[in-house]
């Protein structure tokens, strides 16, 4: 029986994952929307916040770029550049300040050799082929009722799950570092700055928690199928 018509998958994986994901997305969007309307105490745009953090902390400055889109902010360790979306770079809101600081939290992780970053990076080579192998092996295992092939797929899918689980503490740590950088740079001017930044970063972190839970539920489902077949 295929996962998309299996009532076990529907009730124990799809429905919980859908509820968690929708709930987190609604909370994230409402939180970001609220604090996007509140000007930060330093009256700095997100791009300026990033510049100030490089100037006033021990971070080694790296290039900053603007990219189109909403919530497309990210640190690219390969190119060693921080890319801020227009909605972050061009706004002087508490939300923009928090998001910019989070990305520089990632920069600090790499520059200080964070153990969590190294652990996640160790899996990156395997992730280049794991998704293809896992889904092909799982499909063949289900289609031809080959338990061994299914377990091979589960093994490679587990690598994806492990990466997702490791991403959660990495993101939480980046947010923690970002807040600390803001404090060090003296950019948390008002109580609303600190309160709003924490709420925005907490909401963003929940998206990674939802992704990890979804991945774990799916992995457990595949394992249950393999055991039933065995």
- Those residues with Cβ within 8 angstroms of residue 215's Cβ, 6 or more apart along the chain or in another chain: 160, 161, 164, 165
Within 10 Å of residue 93's Cβ, how many Cβ atoms?
23
Give residue 3's pLDDT: 44
Give the residue-averaged pLDDT of 13-27.
96
Give residue 6's pLDDT: 84
Distance of CA 179 to the CA centre of its chain: 17
What is the percent of the chain where pLDDT is above 90? 87
pLDDT surpasses 70 at 196: yes
Instruction: Write out pLDDT tens, residues 125-172.
Output: 888 889 999 999 999 999 999 999 999 999 999 999 999 999 999 999
Residue-averaged pLDDT of the chain = 94
Note the pTM of the prediction, 2 decimals. Answer: 0.92
Output the six-digit token pair for 113: 């050799």
Instruction: Write out pLDDT tens, residues 22-80.
Output: 999 999 999 999 999 999 999 999 999 999 999 999 999 999 999 998 889 999 999 99
Give residue 122's pLDDT: 86
């Amino acid at each position: 029986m295929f996962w998309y018509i299996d009532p076990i998958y529907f009730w124990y994986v799809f429905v919980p994952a859908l509820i968690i994901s929708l709930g987190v997305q609604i909370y994230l969007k409402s939180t970001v929307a609220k604090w996007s309307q509140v000007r930060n105490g330093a009256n700095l745009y997100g791009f300026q916040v990033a510049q100030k953090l490089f100037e006033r902390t021990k971070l080694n400055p790296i290039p900053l770029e603007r990219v189109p889109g909403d919530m497309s902010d990210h640190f690219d360790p390969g190119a060693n550049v921080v890319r801020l979306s227009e909605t972050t770079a061009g706004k002087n809101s508490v939300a923009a300040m928090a998001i910019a600081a989070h990305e520089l939290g990632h920069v600090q992780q790499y520059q200080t050799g964070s153990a969590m970053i190294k652990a996640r990076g160790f899996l990156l080579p395997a992730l280049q082929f794991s998704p293809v192998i896992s889904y092909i092996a799982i499909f063949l295992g289900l289609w031809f009722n080959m338990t061994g092939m299914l377990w091979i797929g589960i093994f490679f899918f587990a690598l994806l799950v492990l990466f997702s689980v490791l991403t959660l503490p990495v993101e939480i740590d980046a947010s923690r570092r970002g807040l600390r950088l803001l404090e060090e740079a003296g950019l948390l001017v008002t109580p609303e700055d600190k309160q709003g930044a924490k709420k925005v970063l907490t909401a963003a972190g929940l998206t990674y928690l939802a992704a990890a839970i979804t991945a774990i539920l799916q992995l457990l489902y595949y394992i249950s199928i393999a055991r039933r077949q065995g």
